[in-house]
Structure formats: structure tokens, C-alpha cells
Amino acid sequence: MIKPHGADTLKPLFVYDPEQHHALMQEAENLPSVMISSAAAGNAVMMGGGYFTPLTGFMNVADAMSCAENMRTTSGLFFPVPVVNLIENADAIRGAKRVALRDPNMEGNPVLAIQDVEAIEEFSPEQMETMTQKVYGTTDREHPGVDAFNSAGRICVSGPIQVLHFSYFQDDFPDTFRTAVEIRNEIAERGWNTVVAFQTRNPMHRAHEELCRMAMEQIGADGVVIHMLLGKLKPGDIPAPVRDAAIRKMAEIYFPPNTVMITGYGFDMLYAGPREAVLHALFRQNMGATHFIIGRDHAGVGDYYGPFDAQTIFDTEVPDDALEIEIFRADHTAYSKKLNRVVMMCDAPDHAKEDFVLLSGTKVREMLGRGEAPPQEFSRPEVAEILMDYYQQLNQK
């Protein structure tokens, strides 16, 4: 199986030993505590599950700036984004050696992790601007990722963590949330060697379905891991339970048995385009995938990134030896009326625009809201039915 990033074995930071876990939970009751941001909570969950291997905790200012500017920590470890615990006020934890990190996303704000405090530093406004520009490609606060990053505070609490909870993800998505450890184990149990991963924050339409099939066929994959983001999205995105139901229905009906794993991970979307695409690839290597599909405008939002920036970054900025996972590059896919099947549009040079079934997201949402199923060439009827129910309920509120 493919090796994790920067290590021989996966390094999950969740404390699995029951006695140690109980002792740490008791210790946490007497520690100074701080409410962390939703983004930092997602980072802790991802470190707990092994997705951020080989990191041992949150970065300090020097490492964060180095990752933003060079995609490497000060020690030379390749990492495409800073992984930081930013807070607005550190008065409650000044001088503390260990602190309890509280979850902002669960009722009662339970302890999510314990952190050894190596440093409490403050990013300057100029440093925040540099990190924002390097990671997101813009400093525009209208960008949802930029706004979230710059709303968390400028005080950086760095040091290793011990993760005690997987936030709401394990409770809300028991059939879907999986750690990198669990996915690696299941890949091994299934006997898969060549594995393609597909990232999604949306329901899967025919084009997405066929893209997974194309990738599997072209690389000779044993199976595909559909890996959906379960954390916070921007307003208007379809909530995770609806996406989960739609994707499961599609896979159940249209894929052969033992070719699809449907899983999810607890992380807030950054919408950071190219940089997030590299981070997504790193996640998938750590969970055991050998190939990762990157399509048009991967992890993008609005018009902040070019349609294939998330692919070209692997040629222009990511060193050849940085990651072992291979990238499957996908063009825009659509149903061809001429060929009666979904194709990559770049593979159909003799087609005009009217030869494809093309619908904008806005158009699809309007149709679903009216109870109209999109054309079967665009969306499977069973998937459309689940989405129609959701949008009609939304319109009734």
C-alpha cells in the first residue's frame, strides 16, 4: 500500500487507549481552556484521524509562514498550507504548559483535545495578509475562506495535541465519517491495491459518476473511494446528510459491488483552489489512495481561480518528490448527445456547445425547487428525487 506522507506509518493523534483517554479527560477538567475556531477544530479532527500525518500538532508562526510562502515547514517537510490554532484572546491560558481546546461546534463545548503549549505568538497584520494571499490567492473578504481565516484571531497557539473527540462528525455521520486509519484498514480488507479517490462537497451528477468510472478504467483501479467533506460549507451549499443520501443511492444502483467506498471526513472547506487541491491530495495519500481525481475548478469558489489552476500547481509549484500519490487530471465532463454518453469535453473536439447537455448550478437548483427533475443525461432520476425533496422542503420554510 502507498506510504503515508512523510512517514512509514500513519500517525493519528487520537488517544485510543481507554485508560489514557479517561485520564486525559479528567486532567482536562482542571486545565485552563480556550474555545477554538471551527477551522482549528476541523484541523484537530483531521490530525486525530491521521489525515495530517506526520504533523504532531499546530504550527508556530515560523512554520506557518514558511508553509504559506514555500509549502514547506522550517525543517523542510512539504506541507501546502499552514495548520494553525488561531484565537482572539490568550489571557486565560497565559503561562500554561497544557491547555484544553474546546469545540465550538457542539453543545456544551466539550473538550476536543489537549495541547502542550510550546509558544503563544501573534501574527502581525502583514503576516496575516501574506498568508492569506499565498494560500487563497486573494485577500478579498468576500471570499468565504479568506473571511473565515481572518475572523479567527491573530494569536497563534502552537504545540503538539492529543485528540479526545471527533467533534460532531462521529455522532452525526456514523455510517460515513471515517478516519484515515479506518479507510486504510478497509482498503486492505477489500484487497484493493490501486485506489482512486474522489473529493466532493456536492451531490454527484452523471458527469461526476462517469468521471469516477473513467478514472477507474484508465488507471486499472480496484475501486474508488468517494470521500465527501462533512464540515462547514458556504451558505447555499447542500447539507451533508442530503449529499450522503444522494451519493449512496447512486453508488448502490449504478456501480458494481465492491468497487465503491463511500466515506466522509470532518473538515471545514477552505475554498482555497490550487493550494487546497494539494492539501486534498495529501489527505488521500494518507488514507491509502494511489490516485486522486482533480477536475475543473477543484476546491474553487466564484471567479478567484482559473479552471485548471488546481491541476497546473502540481506542475509549477509542487516538487516531484513531495507526494507519492498520482493525480488524475479531468476536464469538464458532460453528456454528449452525439455519442449518447458522458465524455470529457476535451476528448470531443468535433462537438459544438449545443451537442452537450449543459446546465448551470442555478438552473438545476431552480428546476429541483419546482419539483422538476433535470434531464436523465444530467442527473440520475433516483438522485434527482432526493434533491427535489430537499429543495421543496427548503422552499416551504
Q: How far apart are CA 1 and CA 193, in angstroms?
A: 6
Q: Kindly give the residue spans of alpha helices, DSSP state H, lying in 82-178.
A: 125-136, 144-151, 169-172
Number of Cβ within a 10 Å radius of residue 211: 24
Q: How far apart are CA 85 and CA 89, in angstroms?
A: 12
Contact between residue 227 and residue 200 where contact means Cβ atoms under 8 Å apart: yes
Q: Kindly give the residue spans of alpha helices, DSSP state H, lying in the chain.
A: 18-28, 38-48, 61-70, 125-136, 144-151, 169-172, 180-190, 206-219, 240-254, 274-286, 309-316, 361-369, 381-396
Q: Is residue 380 among the annotated active site residues? A: no
Catalytic residue among 72, 98, 154, 201: 201
Contact between residue 1 and residue 288 where contact means Cβ atoms under 8 Å apart: yes
- Backbone phi, psi, residue 44, to 5°: -65, -40
Go through 223-239 and write b for each residue having 16 or more CB atoms within 10 A of its CB, e for each that does not. bbbbbbbbbbbeeeebe
Catalytic residue among 202, 213, 248, 365: 202
Question: Among residues 146, 5, 129, 160, which one has the least CA distance to residue 65?
Answer: 129
Report the DSSP pairing between strands 33-35 and 119-122.
unpaired
Q: How far apart are CA 53 and CA 69, in angstroms?
A: 20
Q: Is residue 178 among the annotated active site residues? A: no
Number of Cβ within a 10 Å radius of residue 310: 27
Q: How far apart are CA 269 and CA 292, in angstroms?
A: 18
* Residue found by looking up cell 490568550 in the block: 90
Q: How far apart are CA 147 and CA 82, in angstroms?
A: 16
Contact between residue 296 and residue 290 where contact means Cβ atoms under 8 Å apart: no
CA dihedral 49, 52, 58, 59 (to 10 degrees): 180
- Backbone phi, psi, residue 374, to 5°: -60, 165
Active site (catalytic) residues: 201-202
